Structure 1
Amino acid sequence: MKNQKLIAIVLVVLLLAVSLASCFASADGSAASGASSSAPAPTAAPAEDQSADIVVIGAGGAGMTAAIQAVQDGATNVVIVEKMPQTGGNTTRSTGGLNACETSYQAAEGIEDSVGLFVEDTMKGGKELNDRQLVTVMAENSAGAVDWVNEIGGDLSVVGQFAGASVMRIHRPSDTSAVGPMLVKALNAKVEALGIPVLLNTRADEILVDEKGAVSGVKVTGPSGAYTIGCRAVVLATGGFGANNEMVAEYKPELAGFGTTNQAGATGDGIAMAKAAGADFVDMDQIQTHPTVNPDTQTMYTEGVRGNGAILVNKEGKRFVSEMETRDVVSAAILEQTDGVCYMVFDQAVRDSLKAIESYISAGIVFESDTVEGLAEQIGVDPAALRETMDVYAGYAQAGVDGEFGRIDTSMGSDLTTPGFYACLCAPAVHHTMGGVRINASCEVIGAAGSVLPGLFAAGEVTGGVHGANRLGGNAVTDIVVFGRIAGSSAERYLLANGGNTALTIQVEKEETAVPEVEGGYKDGVYTGSGSGNGGALTVTVTVEGGNIVSVKLADHAETDGIWQNAEKGVGNEIIRGQKAEVDAVAGATNTSNGIIEAVKDALKDAK
């Protein structure tokens, strides 16, 4: 019996070795397949030098947009490299929408808007520090950005009001859900449909240039080691540095120790690579905090909650600012309140108007009561004071005029009198880094000497100049789509002027199914367990065959699309390999991973 066991283990090890060898032996294979809602499968590129025409560094919203647009323009050999185990970047966390002017959706609602008004609102919000030419390009191309997103399978068809905008301008999904997951899902599906290789878990280390200063390649480190991808054009789309508090504090010391709304990969790698390549920078000290972030979980409450009617009150139960002021103003006002926090208060009408609120409630970070007084007791606020505040505000909302703080009337969507009543604890956290690489209107990177760096393009939060001293909510998604498309088109035009397109050389190879490394010793069957993820309660099904765990699948859950798939795959594979639930969480999907791990432990408690 022992010999049989030994033989079985040896066979498993041999199979694993063969599987790994096949992963690392070559880059041949087909584009990642599977449900379009999930990120492309991780790849195992060999530690051998590769070649492409255009390398896009970063698989967030700007990077995937640039790659897609380049291929739509005719590029045939484009590859995306991404250091994280999933695509999406900070875009996945975007909850609001995409600001656009002169759209068909505005026209249908009778909303009068213009490029000029969009530009002036953005310049005012950015304290006139913005590059007006870039802002104008963004506004002029914003309606086209909405149409493009919808053409690739997205959904931007509802227009709402956000802070800093003179009119209703932000375009959101028709079901009022968060914009980021919707956009990432559409981008992933289009990347897959176009056969664009995506090398996940692959960090870009250095942008190479030739003797003439033109881009010639990118040094990367992937699952199988370091190698070089030779190319003629690079689109830098690595995002900002909001998750690197050391770098944040370097440029803005007063933000040392602040929490962040950013995903773990937003560490400023692109800034370092661009600096080494000779790029110029702009507005590096302009770092935005988002005012409504849960200080315990770092969950960001979308501005849409306030845009649909919520108010902010301090621990004394009093309003202290116009809720629709720009983010820097609201953040500063909150920090002046008792303990530097406040509560965002709303009623059932606001809850019903915005699907995103359900995820906050599921996560257990929302207080609720049938009465205003009951809500006040839950959050430790004087009931009489909160009742007075709510009554006064109801009068303002019904009259359409905020007599205290001058809140814009189109954002007073509810008079906050419909039971039940809800409150969320809020404090500012680092949200967006407005500074970055200097670019021109064609997304060409400008060098420290003032001339363009041949073959180097950039888009998204890694760039500076678009948002000035303060970014308006809704402008980040406009930024990544508009300038992502321009960067992709500019890279392809540069390519055509410098030798033309070549055949695709890098292919995506699907990751092999996990193979158990040890015997599990479980009873065969299908087991169900529950845990608590980022979106609240979740359940998993664990399948045991031949005594081993062979499958871990999420069943019922409210996790973020584009993130939960990576947590399910990453955590599930490690559980299968080790035949135990004590595994590490997947970077960028920590809460979902921990929920899955908890649920697997629950499922397996009767399986031994």
Structure 2
Amino acid sequence: MKGFKRNIAIVLLIAMSLMSFIGCSQQATTQGQFIAGTYEASARGMIGDIKIAVTFTEDRIEKIEILEHQETEGIADPALERIPQSIVANQSLGVDSITGATITSLAILNAVEDAATQAGADIEILKNKAVASTKGEKIEKTTDVIVIGGGGAGIAAAASSVENGAEVILIEKAAALGGNTLASGFAWNATNPEIQGKIGTMPGQIEMLKGVLELDEEGFGEFTDILKTLKEQITTYLDGDASTVFDSVEFHIIQAYQGGRRQDRDGNWIENDYDLLTTFAENSLPTLNWVQSLGGAFSEELTSPVGAMWLRGHNPVGKKQIFDALADYIVENGSEIMLETKADELIVKDGRIVGIKGTKADGTEVELYANKGVIMATGGYGANPSLAAEYNNYWPSIPEDMKTTNVSTVTGDGIIMGREIDANLVGMEFIQLMPTANEKSGSLTDGLLVAPQNYVFVNKEGKRFINEYAARDELAFAALEQTDEMFYTIADQPMALSAQNRPTQEMIDKMVEDGLIYRADTLEKLAEIIGCDPQTFVDEIEKYNSYVEAGKDPEYGKAVFEMQVKEGPFYACPAKPAIHHTMGGLEINVRGEVLDTASNVIPGFYAAGEVTGGIHGGNRLGGNAIADVFVFGRIAGENAATNK
């Protein structure tokens, strides 16, 4: 009996030892914080998954490597570089996210947490370990021109001021330049006969031009003479060789006016400001050429973003390259760029704007003074849902949880600062929704940005419901009336590879893998995936293809066509309207000077870009924003530098 008990004791001892050994494989030993090794993990970033590898010794996080990511070049770079460094340096998951790249920062932190969990770490200890942040001494400087904001308008304004002999300090609250401009599709609308004259006329464009000839001139107010000139141009074009694409500055102006004349929910009409719109259209191509003269590189392939209404979108060879070229020009000519610096307040002296008070990300106070002028270029308020909801008087509602295509820093800072010094605001009740934003993420790039002439929209029932070549607000209103306020954009394989966000097949495969878009070898199988009746869907696509062939859409009046949906595999991209562009902002004149509520110029105060209002009326054409921010950035920069 004693031997039997002794054997049981031995067995229990062995079992306890095995359990202890197994436990050590699941959590760190008492001697070390981690189970040494390299662990891989991933987490969802702004655009796709960020995959990392984390190497642990028994007592520290040794190394963090970013293995794969699809984040926006430029905007995400500081987070991809500095968050891993900060985690390793502080041995903590309690590090601060990077301003302007919050989602990317959190994705890296979440992935490292996953890896640390695999390594048996106590996550709460890692999260709660304090990370020291040292506030620096107050920064005080004086310069000629201060530019607030480092997006397209800000970088153009700074470069223009430098070109005109001024010393400049550009401040940007994010950790990188670019803002919404860098996150956008970056299509720059400009009339360019040299390039457009090499492109063949697409089916439906001639009919669209003939429609312009039928417009009643009495309904165009200040723009009547421009319409008359346009009709003469179109008549001459149609009487001659109409085999290549027509365009003119006058056509661009009239289309922008038609797209911008809107009525709010109280019956009040808004129209594009005549002087601002004509200045914008006339200076678009010269400004693009100016950016090229400073080192910016553009492709000669034109595109047409959703809601653009015509083929005149110029695209950079690389979006970040434009900012790099202009930033180099600014710094090499003796001016300064201060990142992670937020403007909090305008300094007013004797009625003139003479500087700003701000704060750096570490809490350091900043006080800057300008001898010549301050240029506001902080963007709109598309990432500030409460401000959007406060002013909205165009849409039935803008819920505070509505997704946005905007970067996180676009919160209306410049509008709020301007409002505090009695600057006049115009068009604030009009907010543009992007109809084709991804249903799940709200992002522009999570999907296939097919050209409008190729877009096919179907609802959950598998039916078309709108002219896909219409203005953005018309598309968004129609989308919001569909089941669950969403729809699908349909594409075949050639369409997918020709999409304007330039996806590779590898990128498309990844979007399918992540569940952002759907793919099937046949239309019938795609219908099953999106949950509609296969025969209804197939009939709808075949009917659409017949319209492409005929160059006419008798159902919804789509005017311009190019490709049919014919060659598998086929794709469906779930889409739902998201906040995209805020139409209103600070009122400016054609010199970029800000006006007060009595319509007087506020001395020393200039503005450019989405922080302003009046140029686009109540709805902006796709591709007009990039042109706007650079055109008026350049104008404001020149006038601030020369005190014109």
Report the TM-score when normalising by structure 2: 0.67
Return the match for 1:238 from 378, 383, 392: 378
CA contact (8 A) 2:433 2:473 kept: yes
Q: Secondary structure at the match of 2:450?
A: helix
Matching of residues 335-354 of structure 1 within 5 Å: 335-354=480-499
CA contact (8 A) 1:38 1:188 kept: no
- AA aligned opposite 1:282: V
- For 1:233-275, what per-residue CA distance to the aligned partner results, in whole angstroms no more than 9, with x for missing partners? 1010000001011101101171122111111001111011111
- AA aligned opposite 1:295: E
1:204 corresponds in structure 2 to 343
Give the 3 Å change call, closer, same or farther, for CA 284–88 of structure 1 in structure 2.
same
Query: 2:430, 2:304 → 1: CA distance?
Result: 25
Deviation at 1:218, TM superposition (A): 0.9
Query: 1:115, 1:484 → 2: CA distance?
Result: 20
Deviation at 1:342, TM superposition (A): 0.2
Deviation at 1:228, TM superposition (A): 1.1
1:112 corresponds in structure 2 to 246
- AA aligned opposite 2:462: G
Return the match for 1:382 from 533, 556, 560: 533
- AA aligned opposite 1:230: Y
- AA aligned opposite 1:135: L
Query: 1:429, 1:189 → 2: CA distance?
Result: 34
Give the 3 Å change call, closer, same or farther, for CA 148–45 of structure 1 in structure 2.
farther
Instruction: Choose 449-458 or 297-306, whichever is displaced more.
Output: 297-306
Query: 1:381, 1:185 → 2: CA distance?
Result: 47
Q: Secondary structure at the match of 2:278?
A: helix
- AA aligned opposite 1:437: L
Return the match for 2:311 from 168, 182, 190: 168
Query: 2:195, 2:152 → 1: CA distance?
Result: 23
Query: 1:36, 1:220 → 2: CA distance?
Result: 21
Query: 1:487, 1:38 → 2: CA distance?
Result: 29
2:467 corresponds in structure 1 to 322
- For 1:563-601, what per-residue CA distance to the aligned partner results, in whole angstroms no more than 9, with x for missing partners? xxxxxxxxxxxxxxxxxxxxxxxxxxxxxxxxxxxxxxx
1:391 corresponds in structure 2 to 542
Deviation at 1:493, TM superposition (A): 1.2
Query: 1:286, 1:464 → 2: CA distance?
Result: 10
- AA aligned opposite 2:585: G
CA contact (8 A) 1:149 1:156 kept: no
CA contact (8 A) 1:103 1:143 kept: no
Matching of residues 125-274 of structure 1 within 5 Å: 125-127=259-261, 129-151=271-293, 152-163=295-306, 165=308, 167-173=310-316, 180-181=319-320, 183-211=322-350, 213-222=351-360, 223=362, 225-232=364-371, 233-252=373-392, 254-257=397-400, 258-274=402-418
2:139 corresponds in structure 1 to 48
1:454 aligned onto 2:603: yes
Return the match for 2:258 from 121, 124, 133: 124
Q: Secondary structure at the match of 2:272?
A: coil
CA contact (8 A) 1:91 1:184 kept: no
Deviation at 1:154, TM superposition (A): 2.2
Flag structure 1 segments of 5+ consecutive residues without an equivalent.
Answer: 1-34, 498-608
Q: Secondary structure at the match of 2:254?
A: helix
- AA aligned opposite 1:487: A
Deviation at 1:307, TM superposition (A): 2.2
CA contact (8 A) 2:523 2:534 kept: yes
- For 1:188-241, what per-residue CA distance to the aligned partner results, in whole angstroms no more than 9, with x for missing partners? 444444453211111101111212x11211111123521311113101000000
Larger RCO (CA within 8 A; separation ≥ 6): 1
Deviation at 1:96, TM superposition (A): 4.9
- AA aligned opposite 2:387: M
Deviation at 1:111, TM superposition (A): 2.8
1:362 aligned onto 2:510: yes
1:402 corresponds in structure 2 to 553
CA contact (8 A) 2:424 2:597 kept: yes
Q: How many matched pairs?
A: 453
- For 1:462-516, what per-residue CA distance to the aligned partner results, in whole angstroms no more than 9, with x for missing partners? 000011110110000010111111011111111xx7xxxxxxxxxxxxxxxxxxx
- AA aligned opposite 1:153: G
Give the 3 Å change call, closer, same or farther, for CA 294–74 of structure 1 in structure 2.
same
- AA aligned opposite 1:64: I
Quote the sequence identity (%): 38
Deviation at 1:172, TM superposition (A): 2.2
Deviation at 1:138, TM superposition (A): 0.5
2:616 corresponds in structure 1 to 467
Deviation at 1:106, TM superposition (A): 2.1
Query: 1:86, 1:425 → 2: CA distance?
Result: 31
2:165 corresponds in structure 1 to 74
Query: 1:136, 1:303 → 2: CA distance?
Result: 33
Query: 1:374, 1:230 → 2: CA distance?
Result: 64
CA contact (8 A) 1:340 1:427 kept: yes
1:295 corresponds in structure 2 to 439
Instruction: Choose 135-144 or 122-131, whichever is displaced more.
Output: 122-131
Return the match for 1:94 from 184, 201, 214: 184
Query: 2:563, 2:465 → 1: CA distance?
Result: 19
- AA aligned opposite 1:88: G
- AA aligned opposite 2:182: T
- For 1:355-381, what per-residue CA distance to the aligned partner results, in whole angstroms no more than 9, with x for missing partners? 534456534311111111111111112
Query: 1:297, 1:66 → 2: CA distance?
Result: 32
1:486 corresponds in structure 2 to 635
Query: 2:521, 2:332 → 1: CA distance?
Result: 49
Report the TM-score when normalising by structure 1: 0.70
Deviation at 1:101, TM superposition (A): 1.1
